[in-house]
Amino acid sequence: MKNRILNLSRYVILAAGLLFFVFPVASAIEFSLRSYGNKGHTFANYSWIFQQEDFFTNITISLKLAALSAVITLLTVVPAVTYLHLEGQRFKRIFEFLAILPLVVPVVSLAIGAQKAMPTFIQNSQYELAFFYVVIAIPYTFQSLNVGLTSIPLKTLVEASRSLGASFGRTVISVIVPAIRSAINAAIFLAVTLSFGEFTLTSLLHWETFPVWITRVSQGNVLGSIALSMFSLIGAWTLLILVQSAQNVRKKKVSKSDVEESEEALI
Amino acid sequence: MTSMKEATTRKSGGFSSLLKTLPLAPFSLVFIFFFCWPIFQIVKNSLDQGKGHYGLSAYRLMFTKPYMHAFATSLQLSFFSALTAGLIGAVVAFYVHRSSAGLKSTIAMLSGVLANSGGVPLAFMFIAAFGAQGGIVTILKKLGFDIYGAGFTLYSLTGLILVYSFFQIPLMVLVFTPALEGMRNEWREANNSLGGSNFQFIRWVLIPVLFPAFLASVLLLFASAFSAFATARALTGGSVGLVPLVIGSLIDGNVITDQANLGDALAVGMVVVSGVVMLFYGFSLRWARGR
């Protein structure tokens, strides 16, 4: 009896939760299909999005910045965390502390500082944004790499490779990088999603990227702006779900093959 | 002679060990130039009185009524949205924790996705749903609940709490679930075999054990609501005077003040508040792990 009540209350709570998230989405989709003057539902608001000439320009800019942030993360955060796990144990605590700090400083505060601190030649280039995106993402990228690397016996692997006569470069390319690949992928994914959606710093530094453009173009067309918002939200959700399920599949595969390997070792 | 040799070896040892830390260099450079340097500049600017003088006049202005009011509004919003989302999210996490593995991983994935949605599109979505002409408002009106007639408006503190819940509840589920994984089934069995009721189990076992983790999660939500900017700006356009929005209008030059560095002082103020919150977050995390 008790269990049945508990089960029932569980379904009630899950259903209520689902409604809280599904209702606004469904209702906004319905709204985005409306037409001016109540002439029934159409896809006109969605085709309006693609008629905007700036649409593709801004998507391209955002994609470029996201790619650049990924590269910068790869060149800065990845070597640092890997090193901290291999040799730099004594610096680990300091860097872990530093990596939290961007979470403590609100992006608005960073923006006002960036506006004053950056030399003109940097302020004149839109690519300055990528560096700030990387910094804002550091608490997440650093942490995810840090956790990812803890589960790998990296030091043993490197020692084995070196004692078998591999050069340092060879060790990096054929031992370290393959071992930490999934941790790197997760960190890059975080950097890319953050930079693609960043609005606060970008708009306060007066640059236009896809999220900032949405706000500007929305001012003249209410229905269009809602269609555009739903387009970008659902696009982002689909992408996130695809990537996460791909990661889950890989995780399952890896754990399965690990088991098989250990079984083989036992035999 | 020997001492000189020693000195040179030590020196070259120092240099080569410095060379070994090279992998830390790119990270440090980017961090110093794009993070530490701007923060230093805000602090310096907030104290700058012009003509090489330094003083506190920007902070004196910050402690006057309109700006203190903005801080109070921001803190109020962060407090209520963190508490609402924290309580609801904790209950959801608790029920999800007791569900099948399949449902668990689905909810975990959905939470990860929803916790990441924010910004301007989210604000527009809620305008379509909960605005005066919004779908949900129209349906409720037909059912006899005129929420706008009852004084609700999306463009207010209550409205912002509602919108923030959309990403704060999933965030809570995400950060609070690991704490639940540490619960043991034996605890409930022990409680039951000692004759404890369900209520007693919740009151004397569950709540005391989970409280530190709950506090840490809520503080994290607090910090995220406190510094949120895009959603609030798109939704209220500035009608709710939050500190980040005030700073934004100062940067854009929409607000004229004779104190040019007021924005810097407010930015430092925000860093201090969120620093204190994160400090408590660290303490409660340690408290939670100590168990």
What are the chain B neighbours of A75 within 8 Å (beta carbons)?
26
| Model confidence pLDDT, tens digit, residues B175-234 | 998 888 877 778 888 888 888 888 888 888 888 888 999 999 999 999 999 999 988 988
Mean of pLDDT over chain B: 85
In this complex, the residue of A80, A106, A112 whose CB is nearest that of residue B24 is A80
pTM, two decimal places:
0.86
- Cα(A155)–Cα(B34) distance, integer angstroms: 31
3-class DSSP assignment, residue B128: helix
- pLDDT tens digits along A20-66: 888 889 888 988 888 877 777 888 888 888 888 888 999 999 999 99
Verify whether the Cβ–Cβ distance A230 to B34 is below 8 Å. no
Q: Is the dihedral of CA B34, B39, B42, B45 positive or negative?
A: negative
- Residue ranges of the alpha helices (H) in chain B? 2-20, 25-31, 37-47, 57-62, 65-97, 101-115, 119-130, 135-142, 157-181, 185-193, 198-201, 207-227, 230-236, 243-252, 262-289
CA-based nearest residue in chain B for residue A200:
B230
Tell me the shortest Cα–Cα distance from A203 to chain B, in angstroms. Answer: 9
Condensed to tens digits (0 to 9), the pLDDT of residues B35-87 reads 999 999 999 999 988 777 888 888 988 898 889 999 999 999 999 999 999 99
CA distance A261 to chain B (A): 25
User: pLDDT tens, B110-156?
Assistant: 888 888 777 888 888 898 889 888 888 888 888 888 888 888 888 88
- Closest residue on chain B to A73 (Cα): B27
Residue from A21, A27, A33, A177 whose CB has the most chain B CBs within 10 Å, to mutate: A27
Taking CB atoms and an 8 Å limit, are A112 and B95 in contact across chains? no
Q: Residue A104: which of B27, B113, B274 has the nearest Cβ?
A: B274
Q: How far apart are CA A142 and CA A188, in angstroms?
A: 10
> What pLDDT is attached to residue B281?
92
Q: With 0-12 CB in 10 A as exposed, 13-18 as middle and 19+ as buried, what is B248?
A: buried
Q: Smallest Cα–Cα separation from B78: which of B289, B280, B282?
A: B280
On chain B, the residues whose CB falls within 8 A of the CB of A80 are 23-24, 26-28
Q: Which chain A residue has its CA at the smallest distance from B243's CA?
A: A108
Query: With an 8 Å Cβ cutoff, are B26 and A79 in contact?
Result: yes
**B chain contacts of residue A77, beta-carbon cutoff 8 Å:** 27
Pairs across A and B, CB distance < 8 A: 221
> One-letter amino acid identity for A111?
A
CB atoms within 10 A of CB B44: 15
- What are the tokens at B173? 């589920």
**CA of B2 vs chain A CAs: smallest distance (Å):** 31
B213/chain A closest Cα distance in angstroms: 18
Query: Can you read off the two tokens belonging to residue A238?
Result: 């689909």
Coil, helix or strand at residue B49: strand
